[in-house]
Amino acid sequence: MTNATEIKPSSAQSARPEWTSHMGFILASLGSAVGLGNIWRFPYVMGKYGGGAFLLVYMVLMCAICIIPLLCELFMGQKYKKAVVGAYESVDKRLKSLGWLNVFTVILISGFYFAVGGWIIHYVLIYFTGAIPHGTDYAQYFNNFAARPVLPLLYAFLFLAVSAIFPYRGVNSGVEKANKIMMPAFLIMLLFLVIISQTLPGAKDGLEFIFKPDFSKFNAEMFLIAFGQALFSLSVGMGAMMTYGSYLNKDTSLVDNSYIIIFGETLIAISAGLMIFPAVFTYGLNPGEGPGLVFVTLPEVFEQLPFCGNLIAVLFFVLLLFAALTSSIAMLETSIAAFRESLNMSRQKATLAVCAIVVVLLIPCTLSFGLLKNIQVFGKTFFDLFDFTSSTVLLPVNSCLLCLIVGWLVKPSDDIVKGNKVLYFIFNILLKYIVPALLLFSILCGLNIIKL
Ligand code: TRP
């Protein structure tokens, strides 16, 4: 009856979990960062925008600019020990709605991410059971499959259910354990496939495509694409890293860990290119296929591999599945932790509530390729609309506000850069002015208000 009972945290909340080891945190954060963005999107975007030149811009942006919102998220999480809504609320009560905007963004992104997750499960199964005959027209196969009314939806639900098991079980016995198993397995499979790919005759062309810089492609558009890709790939701008940061103990160095995440993330993205392009060039396929690269071009590669094509295909799609799952777990955990803390729900109830919302979003997204193909909002199908709103608009909006709030309101001490005065000065300039200005610029370009 008293207020005290309302304010008192529930027993589930009073024992806030922490990562059991530093490795657990690194693997989970890398798991969140490494996903479809690295394996499916990075290689073809890099190919399209000048190979090595793109890579150079990407790495500079990652190390000098994108590290700032990443650091801010980890910092807010570690400082306030709350998920995204609670953390913003701790800065100022009025910022609570910004926390919810972050949750909204991550739920929106789940809508299309989980649809693709469903496709991946389908491809694992058809290769595993040998259900896809040689000589298939893979483009047609993919389009027909994605356009079916029920099957892709069932797979998307299955992907959601598998992802949800881990946050349902808790941070240590669910989220951390899943990453500790899936990430090493992912890395071993990736290394194996990179090595196999280098033995193919097209390896040299593949390497050239990736690493030979085409400086004529150096322009503002390429810069923006690299920036957007880097932010998406780091999983910032939606409170995911804040949530993972909130399970860190107070002594963990944030700068060191941010660089470990950035380094690992970039290395894995490059490895994905090293795995895919030598094979694509060997069989004279189109490296600029775009989004169809993984589901259309690679099946053609698998068919032509001289031996064990099916086995390699299963390995590749399982690898992709693990990459997607470790990201989808982070997405769910972000919303679940916020629901749990801010709506006072048990972890189990919060998981069910979040899943119910994701199911509702999954339906229009998944059906965007078939039944609802002709329904467009602002000239976009639901799938594209969700992608655009979350990745191109809300992600930079949230990141920009995050930097401004941390820079002007929270004002971290120079502990954040281990007391180094010069670094602290640079950090503040980036945090308060440069990074928010760049983010604002990318938002305006994304909305077509500034035309390049
Ligand atoms: N970084 C993920 C990838 O590369 C995608 C992603 C964006 C994400 N935002 C996220 C993952 C938030 C987890 C949480 O695929």
Q: Bridge partners of 377?
A: 380
In a 10 Å sphere around its CB, with 0-12 CB exposed, 13-18 middle and 19+ buried, how is residue 58 labelled? buried
Ligand 1 atom with the smallest distance to the CA of 237 is 9
Return d(Cα 149, Cα 407) in angstroms, integer: 48
Ligand 1 atom with the smallest distance to the CA of 36 is 15
296, 139 Cβ separation under 8 angstroms: yes
List residues near ligand 1 (CB under 6 A): 32-33, 35-38, 106, 109, 232-233, 235, 238, 240, 327, 330-331
Query: For residue range 50-72, what is the model confidence (pLDDT) as tens digits?
Result: 788 899 999 999 999 999 999 99
Query: For residue range 151-185, what is the model confidence (pLDDT) as tens digits?
Result: 999 999 999 999 999 999 999 999 999 999 999 99
Q: Cβ neighbours of residue 149 under 8 Å, at least 6 residues apart?
A: 367, 370, 371
Give DSSP secondary structure letters for 290-343: GGGGTTTHHHHHHHH-SS-HHHHHHHHHHHHHHHHHHHHHHHHHHHHHHHHHHT
Q: Across the chain, how many H-helices and E-strands are there?
A: 23, 0
In a 10 Å sphere around its CB, with 0-12 CB exposed, 13-18 middle and 19+ buried, how is residue 426 labelled? middle
Confidence of residue 316 (pLDDT cuts 50, 70, 90): very high
Residue range 410-435: mean pLDDT, rounded: 94
Ligand 1 atom with the smallest distance to the CA of 232 is 7
Angle at 316 between CA 312 and CA 318, to 5 degrees: 115
Is the pLDDT at 8 greater than 80? The verdict is: no
Q: Cβ neighbours of residue 352 under 8 Å, at least 6 residues apart?
A: none
pLDDT of residue 238: 96
DSSP state of 9: P
395 C-alpha to ligand 1 centroid (Å): 11
Percent of residues, the chain, with pLDDT higher than 90: 69
Is the pLDDT at 3 greater than 60? The verdict is: no
Q: Whose CA is nearest to atom 15 of ligand 1?
A: 35
38 C-alpha to ligand 1 centroid (Å): 10
Domains and CATH numbers, the chain: 22-374 (1.10.4160.10)
Residue range 369-382: mean pLDDT, rounded: 88
327 C-alpha to ligand 1 centroid (Å): 6
Confidence of residue 7 (pLDDT cuts 50, 70, 90): very low
Query: For residue range 320-351, what is the model confidence (pLDDT) as tens digits?
Result: 999 999 999 999 999 999 999 999 999 999 99
pLDDT of residue 2: 38
pLDDT of residue 11: 43
Return d(Cα 113, Cα 123) in angstroms, integer: 16
Q: Bridge partners of 380?
A: 377
Confidence of residue 45 (pLDDT cuts 50, 70, 90): confident
SS3 label, residue 403: helix
Tell which one of 238, 267, 328, 386 to mutate to probe ligand 1, the residue whose CB is within 8 A of the most ligand atoms: 238
382, 365 Cβ separation under 8 angstroms: yes
pLDDT of residue 132: 86
SS3 label, residue 129: coil
pLDDT of residue 12: 45
Tell which one of 232, 267, 322 to mutate to probe ligand 1, the residue whose CB is within 8 A of the most ligand atoms: 232
Mean pLDDT for the chain overall: 91
362, 160 Cβ separation under 8 angstroms: yes
Measured over the CA atoms of residue 273, residue 276, residue 278 and residue 281, the dihedral's sign is negative
29 C-alpha to ligand 1 centroid (Å): 10
134 C-alpha to ligand 1 centroid (Å): 34
235, 323 Cβ separation under 8 angstroms: no
The total of other beta-carbon atoms located within 10 Å of residue 180's CB is 17
Radius of gyration of the chain (CA): 22
Confidence of residue 14 (pLDDT cuts 50, 70, 90): low
pLDDT of residue 357: 97
Q: Cβ neighbours of residue 1 under 8 Å, at least 6 residues apart?
A: none
* Element (DSSP H or E) covering residue 225: helix 220-233
* Element (DSSP H or E) covering residue 158: helix 151-169
Ligand 1 atom with the smallest distance to the CA of 33 is 1
Extract the runs of DSSP E, i.e. beta strands, from 79-150.
none
pLDDT of residue 310: 87
pLDDT of residue 136: 85
288 C-alpha to ligand 1 centroid (Å): 23
Residue range 367-395: mean pLDDT, rounded: 89
Taking alpha carbons only, the member of 82, 156, 145 closest to residue 117 is: 156
Query: For residue range 272-315, what is the model confidence (pLDDT) as tens digits?
Result: 999 988 888 888 887 777 777 889 888 888 888 877 888 999 99
Confidence of residue 4 (pLDDT cuts 50, 70, 90): very low
Percent of residues, the chain, with pLDDT higher than 70: 96
Residue range 136-160: mean pLDDT, rounded: 93
Return d(Cα 126, Cα 133) in angstroms, integer: 10
Angle at 375 between CA 237 and CA 138, to 5 degrees: 80
In a 10 Å sphere around its CB, with 0-12 CB exposed, 13-18 middle and 19+ buried, how is residue 233 labelled? buried
**The two structure tokens encoding residue 269:** 């993205």
Is the pLDDT at 219 greater than 90? The verdict is: no
Taking alpha carbons only, the member of 410, 437, 390 closest to residue 102 is: 390
